[in-house]
Amino acid sequence: MTLLLLAEQVLNGLQFGVMLFLMSAGLTLVFGVMGLINLAHGSLYMIGAFAAAAVAAATGSFLLALAAALAAAAAAGALVEVIVIRRLYDRDHLDQVLATFALILIFSEGTRWLFGSFPLYLDTPGWLSGPVALPGGIQYPAYRLALIVVGLAIAGGLGLLIAKTRLGIRIRAGEADREMTAALGIDIRRLYTVVFALGAGLAGLAGAMVGAIQSVQVGMGEPVLILAFVVIVIGGIGSIRGALIGALLVGLTDTLGGLFLPRLFALVMEPSAAASAGSALASMLIYILMAAVLIFRPTGLYGAEA
Amino acid sequence: MSREGWFNLALAGLLVAFPLAAQAMDEPFLVTLATRAVILALAGVGLNLALGLGGLVSLGHAAFFGIGGYAMGILASHAQGYTPLAEWPLLIEGTKSMPVIWLVAVATSGLAALAIGALSLRTSGVYFIMITLAFGQMFFYFAISWPAYGGEDGLSIYVRNGFPGVNTLVPLPFYGLCLAVLALALMLCWQIARSPFGLALNAARQSAKRAETVGLSPYRLRLAAFTLSGAITGLAGALHADLNRFVSPAMLSWQTSGEIIVFVILGGTARLFGPVAGAGVFVALEHLLGELSDFWHIWLGLLLLAVVLFARGGVVGLVCGERRHG
């Protein structure tokens, strides 16, 4: 194996991780601030991708498509928060799981009804289609590199938003003590809607950006949602920094595991058996990572002690 | 007898009368539909033990359902291909005998539940939900990427497996067999709920701290309940695979986990017959709404949302009134 292949796979892992972060950030914020487990977060990811595909097909502009994804997912998030989610904050987790599971059914079938069962395609924009040469002679697709840069920029921006701005201070206050924050004259209901829409927008953006390298189809959100859960469990619920570290760990483990395990097994087995055993184990690797973190730190790497 | 008692009796009567009536009207398809409802009810009864009695919201029960299914698929496919499962260290042959398959399904899914439970129960609340979901997904991806037993395509068998003294190829006797298994599982759960173990588990659900101060170990109680719960759901998986003569990774998917929870909630959490009512309503809706529209999941979703937001006791709760204690 060449060093070049390794570098390329590390970049792929980073790209995967950064997109997972955009998903996990919203989930972990919503859980941290409102104490809500939201299974329908994957549907918002899907809504973003579909909105982007529709707008790109109509206007031909990728940037407009991204803006539409962000707006559509945030609007859908705000709407769902006001109509349904708001009633769930005081309920136990079981009710939250069920109601958001019901939302998945409604969103998925509704999208299938509107757009049909066939996957849509969203093309990467022309100005990002070629490869770029990186130092060390690595040729890497410009679009994927852009995803990494955009994702990391959003992660930084989100960190600043939480740490420095008035909204961020309110979010942290709401996380620490709901009643006290409300007593200080902050409209906590509106704050919750804003936080939910923010998380939804990030998920929609991720859906649109990933939709350009994969196909846009009904049910695309849930596998990513479950990976985002793994990320949050590893990073610790409610922690943005934990979500970033967890997302990068999961992204790199998954990508590099798929690369190395079959080769590792090939040292002791015949090639075909090694390929199947290696890929089977590689598909389980991130869950093994999660189990390992759980054994040593049941509340995740950056989670508060229970 | 309480209202719930009468309701349960009526439901049990319906379970016996419906397929007989369907048979008399020469509608074998309805018998198969009822068989599906009974098997899904069994899966729900398994989950209800963890969810209702133990308060453990597991979103990973598809793992046990699927493991039971694959236990049937793997054993039967080896038997029909006349290839042994293993030759070393000892010769293991496949089998087409239901009792053996059930035993293997219960043992393997119980073991998986023990392992998943031992790790997941170190946490609680929302972590537990996410972790069980993730472990379920782990088995799903493993089944897809492991090519020996069909991978993504799944595994089908030619003829339904046999049970001594019952012609399982005919819909009605097979229904009877499944109903008998469900009845046994319901009896077991009823006994467990009244046993010292069940009472202790209930206490641990209401307050882990108080249970601990009287010398109980919530972790151990929950692990035992989770294991038993997984084993019962695994048995349902073996029956479900036998009903369709087919097992595929879809049985292990997260949607299956969600649906098993839906049976329990739609019926009424922690009610003995809740999963039976829930699975019955689910299969009926699937059949009736599915005929009306290709997009029946929208209606299911809206109904579920309404049940969660407005009718928290499920079907049994609607008919029999609210529970006295929770």
Q: Which two tokens stand for residue B297?
A: 């999941």
Query: Is A178 in the B-facing interface, judged by CB distances under 8 Å?
Result: no
Q: Which long-range contacts (CB under 8 A, 24 or more apart) does A145-148 make?
A: A145/A11, A145/A15, A147/A15, A147/A18, A147/A19, A147/A209, A147/A210, A148/A11, A148/A14, A148/A15, A148/A18
Quick one: pLDDT band at residue A177, thresholds 50, 70, 90?
confident
Residue A244 exposed, middle or buried by CB count within 10 Å (0-12, 13-18, 19+)? buried
A138 beta partners: A134
Spatial distance between the Cα atoms of A160 and A156, rounded to a whole number of angstroms: 6
Cα separations in angstroms, B244 against A274, B34, B158, B171, B301: 32, 13, 10, 12, 26
Tell me what pLDDT residue B125 has. Answer: 83
Nearest to A191 by CA among A32, A34, A22: A34
Residue type, A237: I
- 3-class state of residue B92 by DSSP: strand
Q: Which of B298, B299, B300, B307 to mutate to test the interface with A (most CBs of A within 10 A)?
A: B298
Spatial distance between the Cα atoms of B178 and A172, rounded to a whole number of angstroms: 54
Contacts of A225 (CB under 8 A, 6+ apart): A23, A27, A39, A41, A42, A45
Contacts of A87 in chain B (CB under 8 A): 309
Q: How far is A275 from chain B (nearest CA, A)?
A: 10
Nearest to A33 by CA among A203, A197, A172, A230: A172
Under a CB-based contact definition with an 8 Å cutoff, are residues B238 and B68 in contact?
yes
Provide φ and ψ at B160, rounded to 5°: -60, 145
Residue B81 in this model has a pLDDT that exceeds 60: yes
Please provide the DSSP assignment of B64-78 as one string.
HHHHHHHHHHHHHHH
Query: Is B300 in the A-facing interface, judged by CB distances under 8 Å?
Result: yes
In chain A, % of residues over pLDDT 90: 54
Average pLDDT over residues B236-247: 95
Spell out the domain ranges in chain B: 3-320
Tens digit of pLDDT for each residue in A35-50?
899 999 999 999 999 9
Q: Are the beta carbons of A106 and B298 separated by less than 8 Å?
A: yes
Contacts of A95 in chain B (CB under 8 A): 308, 312
Give B116's Cβ-side CA count (13 Å radius).
Answer: 35
Tell me what pLDDT residue B322 has. Answer: 61
Query: Is A237 in the B-facing interface, judged by CB distances under 8 Å?
Result: yes
Residue of chain B with shortest Cα separation from A235: B127
Quick one: pLDDT band at residue B152, thresholds 50, 70, 90?
confident
Residue B87 exposed, middle or buried by CB count within 10 Å (0-12, 13-18, 19+)? exposed
User: Would you say how long chain A is, in residues?
Assistant: 306
Query: Is A101 in the B-facing interface, judged by CB distances under 8 Å?
Result: yes
Under a CB-based contact definition with an 8 Å cutoff, are residues B35 and B239 in contact?
no
Mean pLDDT of chain B: 90
The mean-pLDDT minimum among A63-77, A204-218, B139-153, B241-255 falls in B139-153
| More confident site: B326 or A301 | A301
Query: Is B323 in the A-facing interface, judged by CB distances under 8 Å?
Result: no
Residue of chain B with shortest Cα separation from A110: B298
Provide φ and ψ at A147, rounded to 5°: -60, -45
Quick one: pLDDT band at residue B292, thresholds 50, 70, 90?
confident
Residue B314 in this model has a pLDDT that exceeds 80: no
Q: Which of B53, B130, B206 to mutate to test the interface with A (most CBs of A within 10 A)?
A: B130
B163 beta partners: B166
Provide φ and ψ at B281, rounded to 5°: -65, -40
Shortest CB distance from A229 goes to which of B123, B130, B148?
A: B130
Spatial distance between the Cα atoms of B14 and B276, rounded to a whole number of angstroms: 11
Tell me what pLDDT residue B98 has. Answer: 93
Q: How far is B169 from chain A (nearest CA, A)?
A: 35
| More confident site: B240 or B96 | B240
Average pLDDT over residues B305-313: 83
Our measurement of the distance from residue A147's CA atom to the centroid of its chain's CA atoms, rounded to an integer in Å, reads 13
Provide φ and ψ at B27, rounded to 5°: -125, 70
Tell me what pLDDT residue B326 has. Answer: 42
Query: Is B145 in the A-facing interface, judged by CB distances under 8 Å?
Result: yes
User: Would you say how long chain B is, in residues?
Assistant: 326
Spell out the domain ranges in chain A: 3-115+140-296
Average pLDDT over residues A79-104: 92
CA angle in degrees (0–180, nearest 5) for B41-A98-A83 = 145
H-helix or E-strand spanning residue A112:
helix A93-115
Nearest to B318 by CA among B252, B274, B272, B263: B274
Q: Which segment, A231-240, B85-94, B212-221, B316-325, is predicted with the most confidence on average?
A: B212-221
Tens digit of pLDDT for each residue in B259-281?
999 998 888 877 889 999 999 99
Contacts of B57 in chain A (CB under 8 A): 93-94, 97
Provide φ and ψ at B57, rounded to 5°: -80, 90
Tens digit of pLDDT for each residue in A9-35?
999 999 999 999 999 998 998 988 888
Contacts of B216 (CB under 8 A, 6+ apart): B200, B203, B204
Provide the number of CB pairs (under 8 Å) joining chain A to chain B.
122
CB < 8 Å from B in window 59-88 of A: 84, 87
Tell me what pLDDT residue B193 has. Answer: 92
Query: Is A254 in the B-facing interface, judged by CB distances under 8 Å?
Result: no
Query: Is B115 in the A-facing interface, judged by CB distances under 8 Å?
Result: no
B247 beta partners: B155
In chain B, % of residues over pLDDT 70: 98
Contacts of A226 in chain B (CB under 8 A): 133-134, 137, 254
Spatial distance between the Cα atoms of A221 and A213, rounded to a whole number of angstroms: 14
Query: Is B48 in the A-facing interface, judged by CB distances under 8 Å?
Result: no
CB < 8 Å from A in window 116-135 of B: 119-120, 122-123, 125-127, 129-131, 133-135
Shortest CB distance from B142 goes to which of A37, A280, A294?
A: A280
Tell me what pLDDT residue B324 has. Answer: 45
Quick one: pLDDT band at residue B323, thresholds 50, 70, 90?
low
